[in-house]
Amino acid sequence: MEATQYWLGIDGGGTGTRVVLADARGVELGQALGGASGLGLGVPRAWEAIEAACAQAFASAGLRLDWAQCALGCGLAGVNNRDWLAEFIARSPKLAALDVRSDAYTTVLGAHGGEPGVIVAVGTGSIAAMLERDGTCAIAGGYGFPSGDEASGAWLGLRAVVHAQQALDGRARPDAFSDALLARMSVADRDALVVWLCEANQTAYAELAPVVLAHPDHPVAAALLVQAGRDIALLVDALDPLARLPVALCGGLAGPLAAYVPPSHRDRLRAPLADSAHGALMLARRIDRGGAQLSGGAA
């Protein structure tokens, strides 16, 4: 087996993949963005997106990807499904080392620099995590679309589309909000909306979240945003009921939703030190220096 030359940190979700490339001394060489690699969208698709993004990161540094020289740390949505995780590991290329954890774990690692803290990650999906000083990680939420992932983009979109449905068939008055939702879905009548709903996945619903955020004064949108803030607070309280740890709000909706977090919890928010991809890079470094070749877990 070739000696490890590079560390790769992978943050994979339902909307996209972020990659950070460093050499085995920890010097960052490049970054890249790619397609979705959350395991719920299919393990083969996840590996395709990860490989394409890793190749792009290497190319940006003037290098060629050679898996055998790489220690790969992955923080992926969907690894709490043990079958998806097992398939992901089974399909892995020949690597110097591999560690696969939930994106919540790598997010809390990056956000607090490996120190104790709480995160609530709100993007396509949502999840909360707490890292203790002994390295243990506790999780709240994150049960997945459509029943869970409160305050996420998909959660907002799934509930907002009800207003569009009602406006389209006369149960609610059509307005700028319903018009904007229908325009984002590129539908103009009932039949087209039914087709969209039958085909829509988590990512499709999450793409409606910006419409909700753009109409904060509409009563339906406003109620959803207030509830999202309350749900974020509930996730924090589930993990840290004594309010002893710093809290970082992370993910693509962190900025827009921070204003809706109740004041009692908003005052505890701290900017994350680094993102999930850099937390995954910490995994790559650890597994490489620890001498392990393969590991995985939901935490």
Looking at the chain, list the stretches that DSSP marks H as alpha helix, in order from N- to C-terminal side. 43-60, 82-90, 103-111, 153-168, 176-185, 190-199, 202-206, 209-213, 219-239, 254-258, 263-266, 276-290
Q: What CA–CA distance (Å, rounded) separates 178 from 161?
A: 8
pLDDT for position 298:
56
Q: What CA–CA distance (Å, rounded) separates 2 from 23?
A: 14
**Stretches in the chain below the pLDDT threshold 70:** 1-2, 291-299
Packing angle, helices 153-168 and 219-239, rounded to 10: 150
Partners of 139 in the beta sheet?
129
Looking at 169-272, list the stretches that DSSP marks H as alpha helix, in order from N- to C-terminal side. 176-185, 190-199, 202-206, 209-213, 219-239, 254-258, 263-266
Query: pLDDT tens, 141-187?
Result: 988 899 999 999 999 999 999 999 999 999 999 999 999 999 999 99
- Cβ distance 248 to 271 under 8 Å? yes
Q: What are phi and psi of 120, to 5 degrees?
A: -120, 115
Strand-strand pairing, 28-34 and 17-23: antiparallel
Q: Please name each of the domains of the chain with its CATH number.
A: 6-113+273-296 (3.30.420.40), 153-266 (3.30.420.40)
The single residue listed with the structure tokens 């319903």 is: 178
pLDDT for position 40:
87
Distances (CA, A) of 196 to 169, 190, 199, 200, 202: 16, 10, 5, 6, 12
**10 Å Cβ neighbour count for 25?**
6
Q: Is 10 helix (H, G, I), strand (E, B) or coil?
A: strand
pLDDT for position 1:
44
Distances (CA, A) of 17 to 33, 39, 59, 136, 298: 6, 12, 16, 25, 18
pLDDT for position 195:
97
